[in-house]
């Protein structure tokens, strides 16, 4: 993989040009920063809950997990900046529901539950989400959220997007080549990693 | 230059403006190129070109606030509005327009215009495209034929650098190509199956695109590195843009002056000579009005803005502006209708994957109303698409959570194929733009009002496009073939055309066969505004060829003393 310095060298070779950035002239503007965790309105307990939900969905294995990749800060910024008020309300209702069910099932907060307990609960809720989205009656009634899917679908899709488009997810779990040079067929065997993407999906 | 006088003024610095500047300066004219937006220097101003999704606050997705600021662009789905290209599109805040019918207008108000942000697909129109209006009695006949443009296509292709394969198809004439990019193993298989199933009457070919697939040291351009970050500017100059290709050539002549932040308010028309003597410009920063004089003017401000300039000029002579004597200025708005297509799954090939990010796809050229194929609508459509293995955003609802989910999504999924249709829109007098004086932009200028929509022929065609792609995928044995469609309205194709069409008769067209305004022959319009019909292929290559052709004619006419 090529680092920034090597990229600059490659460009200089290809174009014969040396250059520096002058952001004053930029038309491509740096987008506004994401809402920070501190400004998000989530309290410490909620932030800890989001963190553990993220890590349970995408745990650290022999490669980085959600926490290593900077979630939940990303998830929190996305929720506050890119989701509608109704979606945000669903997200928060879902967080409360996870917490309630942890208390019911294990007699303790989700953040105090063991990895195995967290996995057990979210696995059950993941199955429930699948059933709910097919129109089956499940524990979560989704009252007040109209046509929105089960809250866990929102959690899962956002966590997956955030993780696999993070640097850790994109380069250490997926593969990334900054300057591929060409496009061609290659042999594939099970276990070979997929490629990172460069456009938002 | 002394007293602001030049041989030629080129209004706009995008694809066609860059070509006009290059051709006119190389022929020895002193040229002033006016750009309404700010300067963008090649390489050094491409601030996002090395970023990855993780470098953007929302990994590339636009925030609700960004969407709310630019409601016109953020509507519906579509590639252009995201964090990597944020700021590169003109803002509704300073440059509004009025929609009598829904219209999405993607404008790039900066040096290079949309040449930095285009899709880079490049196809020649075919012989029929230039004759269909005349044969079918639609609108007016083109005043030129394929043969008139053929050598100019070759001329611009050799300089711009067009990658593609010599496919030998009448429906899609070959360009003068650089080496083609590669179809992948599944695309080649699907191509072979289509050829067999349709007995050589339908084709899947590699897309033709304005990418250098060989180094071009003479132009200071490196070959395309398949990074697929083109819309942030290319560090190698791998794709054609004003900055990478035409501007350096024009600058080299020593004959070019570029003035950014220069909004052309109107052309200055002299009733006595029936010629334009120059342009009046508003400085975008100081709001000061400045006059520049020239012997000829090339309008390359982008389709609707070139027409806006004509409409806002010589209103004391014609109520609807310069070029309106035919009653056709502003009329016959066209685009390519799309936002629909088909997808399918491809069994097998699980021991195959691809390497690299190809900034191009496959193309299925028009087959409807071609040869023995007859339909209940006029004209046709093509499909652009790609086959690939599903990525991490595939349906994960049954993949569970935890280490298993992570491991599954770290690997590619099954092969799928997607194709998006692009259909021809007929020129229709009822589809129009006009000046709206009630709404003003940040410089106090009237804005455009859009009143254009797709009609019966396009609606019939859209039905066929969806049916045809599903039928093709089914008939060659692909699985779960289905069609999709989301909202299309005019402009969304970002292929605006028409509104100052070429023709044979000053009573029914705005421009003659050399792109001269009938009412002022020293004004040439060579961007998309000049199109008499739309074909179904991406139009920019045709603007390049028309511009080079008109530039040569203009210089000869100057020498002959006719302008």
pLDDT in tens, B382-416: 999 999 999 999 999 999 999 999 999 999 999 99
Calculate what percentage of chain A has a pLDDT beyond 90: 81
Q: How far is CA B339 from CA B244, B384, B419, B433, in A?
A: 30, 11, 10, 23
Confidence band of A21 (pLDDT split at 50, 70, 90): very low
SS3 state at B342:
strand
Specify whether the CB–CB gap between B335 and B433 falls below 8 A: no
- B306-363: pLDDT as tens digits: 999 999 999 999 999 999 999 999 999 999 999 999 999 999 999 999 999 999 999 9
Give the Cα separation of A188 and A53 in Å (integer): 33
Residue of chain B whose alpha carbon sits nearest to that of A185:
B354
Give the Cα separation of B295 and B276 in Å (integer): 8
Q: How far is CA A121 from CA B193, B469, B475, in A?
A: 48, 44, 46
B217: distance to nearest CA of chain A, Å? 8
Give the Cα separation of B388 and B230 in Å (integer): 20
Q: Which residue has the tokens 């050829």?
A: B195
Give the Cα separation of B204 and B188 in Å (integer): 8
pLDDT at A6: 54
Specify whether the CB–CB gap between B203 and B365 falls below 8 A: yes
Both structure tokens of B324: 């309106």
Confidence band of A92 (pLDDT split at 50, 70, 90): very high
B404: distance to nearest CA of chain A, Å? 9
Q: Is the Cβ pair B47, A23 closer than 8 Å? A: yes
Could you please report the per-residue DSSP string of B124-180? ---TGGGTHHHHHT-S---SS-HHHHHHHHHHHHHHHT-B-----BTTB---SPBPP
Strands B415-424 and B381-389: antiparallel
Q: Which residue has the tokens 């997956």?
A: A160
Specify whether the CB–CB gap between A162 and A173 falls below 8 A: no
Give the Cα separation of B498 and B424 in Å (integer): 13
Specify whether the CB–CB gap between A167 and B334 falls below 8 A: no
Q: Is the Cβ pair B53, A122 closer than 8 Å? A: no
Q: Does A167 or A13 have the greater pLDDT score?
A: A167
Chain A residues with CB under 8 Å of B233 CB are: 28
**Cβ–Cβ contact A25 with B under 8 A:** yes
- B535-553: pLDDT as tens digits: 999 999 999 999 999 999 9
DSSP one-letter code for B242: I
- B59-77: pLDDT as tens digits: 999 999 999 988 888 887 7
pLDDT at B75: 86
Please work out, in degrees rounded to the nearest 5, the angle formed at the alpha carbon of residue B523 by the alpha carbons of B520 and B525.
125
Confidence band of A31 (pLDDT split at 50, 70, 90): confident
Q: How far is CA B511 from CA B86, B143, B300, B539, in A?
A: 36, 9, 14, 18
Chain A residues with CB under 8 Å of B85 CB are: 28
Give the Cα separation of B160 and B237 in Å (integer): 11
SS3 state at B388:
strand
Could you please report the per-residue DSSP string of B60-89? TPPPHHHHHHSHHHHSS--TT-SGGGTTSS
First vs last C-alpha separation in chain A: 23
Q: Which of residues 34-53 of A touch B (CB under 8 A)?
A: 34
Beta strands in B360-463 (DSSP E): 362-364, 381-389, 415-424, 432-440, 446-451
Specify whether the CB–CB gap between B545 and B153 falls below 8 A: yes
Q: Is the Cβ pair B397, A4 closer than 8 Å? A: no
Chain B residues with CB under 8 Å of A15 CB are: 43, 220-222, 235-237
Give the Cα separation of B180 and B362 in Å (integer): 11
Size of interface A-B (CB pairs under 8 A): 253
Q: How far is CA B344 from CA A188, B162, B187, B225, in A?
A: 21, 30, 12, 29
pLDDT at A15 exceeding the cut of 60: no
Instruction: List phi, psi (to 5°) of B419.
Output: -140, 130
Q: Which helix (H) or strand (E) holds B418?
A: strand B415-424
pLDDT at B2: 56
Beta strands in B349-492 (DSSP E): 352-355, 362-364, 381-389, 415-424, 432-440, 446-451, 479-485
- A40-77: pLDDT as tens digits: 999 999 999 999 999 999 999 999 999 999 999 999 99
Please work out, in degrees rounded to the nearest 5, the angle formed at the alpha carbon of residue B142 by the alpha carbons of B138 and B143.
140
Instruction: List phi, psi (to 5°) of A15.
Output: -110, -15
Please work out, in degrees rounded to the nearest 5, the angle formed at the alpha carbon of residue B172 by the alpha carbons of B168 and B176.
65
Specify whether the CB–CB gap between B479 and B348 falls below 8 A: no
SS3 state at B383:
strand
Low-confidence ranges of chain B (pLDDT < 70): 1-2, 78-79
pLDDT at B80: 82
B455 phi-psi bin (left φ>0, alpha ψ -120 to 50, beta other): beta
ipTM of the complex: 0.94
């Amino acid at each position: 993989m090529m680092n920034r310095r090597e990229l600059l060298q490659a460009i200089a070779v290809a174009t014969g040009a040396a250059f520096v950035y002058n952001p004053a002239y930029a038309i491509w503007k740096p987008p506004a920063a994401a809402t920070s965790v501190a400004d998000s309105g989530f309290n410490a307990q909620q932030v800890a809950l989001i963190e553990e939900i993220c890590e349970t969905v995408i745990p650290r294995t022999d490669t980085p997990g959600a926490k290593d990749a900077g979630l939940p800060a990303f998830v929190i910024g996305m929720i506050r900046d890119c989701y509608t008020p109704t979606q945000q309300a669903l997200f928060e209702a879902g967080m409360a529901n996870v917490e309630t069910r942890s208390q019911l099932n294990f007699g303790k907060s989700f953040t105090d539950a063991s990895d195995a307990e967290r996995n057990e609960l979210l696995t059950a809720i993941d199955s429930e989400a699948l059933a709910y989205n097919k129109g089956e009656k499940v524990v979560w009634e989704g009252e007040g959220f109209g046509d929105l899917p089960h809250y866990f679908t929102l959690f899962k899709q956002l966590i997956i997007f955030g993780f696999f488009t993070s640097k850790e997810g994109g380069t250490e779990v997926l593969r990334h080549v900054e300057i591929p040079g060409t496009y061609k067929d290659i042999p594939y065997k099970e276990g070979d990693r997929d490629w990172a993407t460069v456009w938002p999906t | 230059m002394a007293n602001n006088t030049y041989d030629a003024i080129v209004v706009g610095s995008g694809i066609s403006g860059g070509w006009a500047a290059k051709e006119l300066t190389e022929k020895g004219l002193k040229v002033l190129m006016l750009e309404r937006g700010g300067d963008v220097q090649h390489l050094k101003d491409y601030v996002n070109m090395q970023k990855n999704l993780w470098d953007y606050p929302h990994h590339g997705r636009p925030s609700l606030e960004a969407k709310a600021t630019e409601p016109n662009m953020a509507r519906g789905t579509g590639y252009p509005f995201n964090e990597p290209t944020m700021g590169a599109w003109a803002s509704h805040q300073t440059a509004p327009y009025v929609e009598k019918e829904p219209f999405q207008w993607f404008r790039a108000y900066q040096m290079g215009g949309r040449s930095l942000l285009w899709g880079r697909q490049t196809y020649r129109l075919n012989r029929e495209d230039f004759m269909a209006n005349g044969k079918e009695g639609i609108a007016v006949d083109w005043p030129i034929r394929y043969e008139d443009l053929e050598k100019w296509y070759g001329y611009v292709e050799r300089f711009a650098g067009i990658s593609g394969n010599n496919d030998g198809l009448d429906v899609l004439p070959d360009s003068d190509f650089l080496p083609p990019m590669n179809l992948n193993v599944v695309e080649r298989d699907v191509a072979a199956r289509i050829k067999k199933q349709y007995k050589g009457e339908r084709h899947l070919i590699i897309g033709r695109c304005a990418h250098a697939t060989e180094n071009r040291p003479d132009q200071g351009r490196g070959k395309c590195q398949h990074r697929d970050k083109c819309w942030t500017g290319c560090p190698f100059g791998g794709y054609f843009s004003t900055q990478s290709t035409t501007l350096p050539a024009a600058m080299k002549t020593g004959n070019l002056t570029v003035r950014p932040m220069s909004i052309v308010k109107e052309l200055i028309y002299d009733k006595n000579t029936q010629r334009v003597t120059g342009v009046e410009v508003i400085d975008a920063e100081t709001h000061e009005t400045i006059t520049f004089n020239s012997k000829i003017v090339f309008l390359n401000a982008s389709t609707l803005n070139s027409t806006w300039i004509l409409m806002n000029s010589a209103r004391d002579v014609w109520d609807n502006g310069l070029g309106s004597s035919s009653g056709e200025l502003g009329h016959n708005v066209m685009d390519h209708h799309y936002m629909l297509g088909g997808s399918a799954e491809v069994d097998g090939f699980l021991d195959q994957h691809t390497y690299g990010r190809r900034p191009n796809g496959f193309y299925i050229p028009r087959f409807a109303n071609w040869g023995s194929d007859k339909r209940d609508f006029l004209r046709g459509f093509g499909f652009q698409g790609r086959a690939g293995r599903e990525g991490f955003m595939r349906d994960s609802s049954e993949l569970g959570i935890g280490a298993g989910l992570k491991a599954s999504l770290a690997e590619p999924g099954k092969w799928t194929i997607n194709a998006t249709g692009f259909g021809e829109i007929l020129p229709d007098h009822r589809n129009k733009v006009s000046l709206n004086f009630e709404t003003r932009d940040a410089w106090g200028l009237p804005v455009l009002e859009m009143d254009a929509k797709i009609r019966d022929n396009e609606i019939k065609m859209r039905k066929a496009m969806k049916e045809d792609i599903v039928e093709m995928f089914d008939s060659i044995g692909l699985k779960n073939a289905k069609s999709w469609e989301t909202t299309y309205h005019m402009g969304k194709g970002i292929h605006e055309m028409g509104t100052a069409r070429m023709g044979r008769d000053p009573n029914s067209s705005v421009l003659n066969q050399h792109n001269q305004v009938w009412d002022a022959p020293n004004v040439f319009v060579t961007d998309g505004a000049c199109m008499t019909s739309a074909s179904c292929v991406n139009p920019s290559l045709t603007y390049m060829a028309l511009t080079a052709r008109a530039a040569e004619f203009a210089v000869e006419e100057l020498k002959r003393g006719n302008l």
